[in-house]
Amino acid sequence: MASPRRSAWSGGRTRFSCERRFSPARLLAAARAGLSDHGEPKDLEPSTQPTAAYLSYDAANVYVAFVCTQPRGDIRARLQKREDLGSDDVVGVYLDTFHDRQRAYFFFSSPVGIQGDGVITETSGEDYSFDTQWSSDGRVTDDGYVVLITVPFKAMRFPVRAGSSQDWGLGLVRSIRANNESVFWPANTQRLAGLIAQFATADGIAGVSPGRNIQFVPHGTFTGARFLDDGSAAYARKNEWRAGVDIKLVPRDALTLDFTINPDFSQVESDEPQVTVNQRFEVFFQEKRPFFLENADFFAAPLTLFFSRRIRDPQVGARMTGKYGKWATGALVMDDRAPGHDVEPGRRGFEDRAVDVVGSARRDFANQSNVGLIATSRTFAGAGNQVAGASTHLRLDQNWFLDVHAVGSHDTDVSGDTRHGAASFVGLIRNGRAFYRHALLSETVGGVELGQREDLVQFSTSTLRWLSFDATALFGTRPNYTPAGQLTPFLGDFQDVAFGIQVKPVSRLSLSETLLWNRLDGRDGTPAEGARIFENRIVRSRANYQFTREWSLRAILDYNSLDPNVAVFHGERSRHFGADVLLTWLAHPGTAFYIGYTDGYDGQRLDPTRRELMPDGALRSTGRQLFVKSSWLLRF
């Protein structure tokens, strides 16, 4: 593999200077294959449009300017929400501040300055949950557009070596949506494994520091709710005020301490729809509370051992993350009031709190390899669960990686009885341009071995500037994991369809439709032979209007239905309809104001003998909520 380019990165006190430009200033055009499954340019072929980039820094900020040539009519640049960049042209910079070739920050901007930021790792890919405060400005010109990105050093973490300079990994990218094309500097190819490994090296960076800064984010929420009580079949009302604060301390350049009191629940954003029926394991929804987001990859592993959304109602918490040379460490401790609220008065654990503790350590190596340890503990009312695991990510050559993870667990119930368990994962992964991998899966469920097969068909397009479309179809065999009665799990024939379309009739308005449909049918020789096992439909309609970069109005309509064959599938017929409206003012991450309203309807009927609500009835209102939320970022 050719060694990455190196170039001195000259500093200065001026905001931006063409003389202080990264050399070579012009992006070496290189189209990266694999952006999608259709019509992409060939690997390492020249770009169709010229791009020039200029970089500089002073004591406070990094500056990156892009000058992009493109016919004005082909430019896709709409006024839309922060990080909603999926169908617009984009330019951006990757900064591997520890130069470990495994993890980097990225800062993206559309031609009109709409931002997207996050963290990318070689093992987990892009993570947009990381948010920080920086600035971007863009202008469309007669022959293209220009963008200036300004990133404060205090927005990132990196080591500082007194009296010496440091090296960073550097990558630049431009996405040209009209041509379905991505351009990288340095040239990036799928013939080599890893994106970050192919970054250039920016050396000679001196006299900069993220500083010892302090951040306070006080936040408050008011909710007024009207909901249907299943036990009494009557409506009840509840008003609640909630306030809290998130605190971030950076005592050293690469060490971060986070504290929280009543963490922000971030209920302003609804979860993206996904199938939760007939799942053997827990379905994971994205974490949205800011306290858990920064450096979340410090607690990640090939097998998920820490899922922060299981901590449902914390009051106080603390976290430490830091990187020292090739070592990365993290620790978290937090309480959770939710388990105690779920216990009936007078029973053991009533109003007690669970305590969650997580610790991790990882040692990186120069060839993009690492070895890591992670341990978790959760205790409540005398019961507890402890899990520990060791993992490694080894680079075998320029294309092959080996992932290994071994885990052990220890459980103690309230009576003192204990159980032990173990799990392991081994993965051999190859990245390359000319490679196709077909996988067959076999599971043992309840002592029965169930071989499975999947066939996949995908299609997507965004050729038209106002329309994007994607569709996925899966066919094959899949177990019925939750059979009715005394039946054991058995294989069925499944069909899964996912369909999405987005229409942008004008610059500020976005309309989208999502459909998820899945069905499982009985196979010959099974208890459900010739019959349907279940059918699940999920539909989401979404509209967003962007008044300015800060103000937006969003509306969502959701429908979810399940039709099971109760003779062979353990589940009840259900229907749900929901409406969600949200008005947002977002100055920047941490400083925002929201007003939202939600309304839910479920298929239920009243049992007159028991005065209880039963499923399989007409749609009726089950809950309405109005909320107002605000937060404010103070950074010193």
Q: From residue 377, give the alpha-carbon distance in Å to each of 252, 260, 305, 354, 411.
A: 28, 20, 10, 10, 10
The pLDDT tens digits for 310-342 are 999 999 999 999 988 889 999 999 999 999 988
Instruction: Give the CA dihedral 191, 193, 196, 200, nearest 10 degrees.
Output: -40
Average pLDDT along the chain, 636 residues, taken 10 residues at a time: 39 28 30 30 77 91 95 91 89 94 94 94 84 94 96 89 83 90 85 84 87 87 86 80 92 86 75 86 82 85 88 94 89 94 89 95 86 96 94 86 92 90 85 54 68 86 86 93 91 95 92 96 92 96 95 96 94 92 93 94 73 72 92 90
* pTM as predicted: 0.84
- Where would I find the beta strands (DSSP E) of 507-611? 509-522, 532-546, 551-564, 574-588, 591-607
**What is the pLDDT, as a whole number, of residue 13?**
26
The pLDDT tens digits for 205-257 are 888 888 777 899 999 999 999 988 766 667 889 999 999 999 999 887 778 99
Alpha-carbon gap, residue 135 to 65, rounded angstroms? 12
Q: Which of 98, 96, 1 is nearest to 362 (CA)?
A: 98
Alpha-carbon gap, residue 105 to 117, rounded angstroms? 8
Task: Name the β-bridge partners of 78.
Answer: none
Q: Which of 505, 468, 507 is nearest to 75 (CA)?
A: 507
Spell out the SS3 assignment of 413-442.
Answer: CCCCCEEEEEEEEEEEEECCCCCCCCCCEE
Task: Name the β-bridge partners of 20.
Answer: none
φ, ψ of residue 73 to 5 degrees: the values are -70, -15
Question: For 442-573, where are the alpha helices, taking DSSP H only?
Answer: none
Alpha-carbon gap, residue 535 to 495, rounded angstroms? 10
Q: Which of 173, 1, 161, 188 is nearest to 85 (CA)?
A: 173
Helix, strand or coil, per DSSP, at residue 55: strand
